[in-house]
Amino acid sequence: MERIKQAIEKAKNQNPNEAGQFVQAQPNSRSAKFAPDSQQPSDALENVNYKKTRVVKLRAEHLEKNRIFSFNKNDPTSVTFDVLRTQILQKMEEKGWRTLAITSPTPMVGKTVVAINLAMSIAQKTNKTAMLVDFDFRQPRIGAYLGLPMEKSLNDLLDGSVELSDILVNPDIPRLVVLPTMNAVNNPSETLSSRKIADLIKDLRERYESRIIIFDLPSLLHSDDAIAVLPQIDCILMVVANGMSSKREIEDSLRHLSKANLIGTVFNKA
Residue 34: CB atoms within 10 Å: 17
- Residues in the chain, pLDDT under 50: 1, 3-4, 7, 11-12, 14-46
pLDDT at 15: 43
The answer to whether residue 154 sits within a structural domain is: yes
End-to-end CA distance of the chain: 9
- Domain tally for the chain? 1
Give residue 239's domain range: 2-26+51-268
pLDDT at 195: 95
CATH number for the domain spanning 255: value is 3.40.50.300
The answer to whether residue 233 sits within a structural domain is: yes
The answer to whether residue 91 sits within a structural domain is: yes
The answer to whether residue 75 sits within a structural domain is: yes
The answer to whether residue 40 sits within a structural domain is: no
Closest alpha carbon to 176 in 210, 152, 151: 210
What is the rounded average pLDDT for all residues in the chain? 84
pTM comes to 0.83
At 217-260, the pLDDT tens digits run: 999 999 999 999 999 999 999 999 998 999 999 999 999 999 99
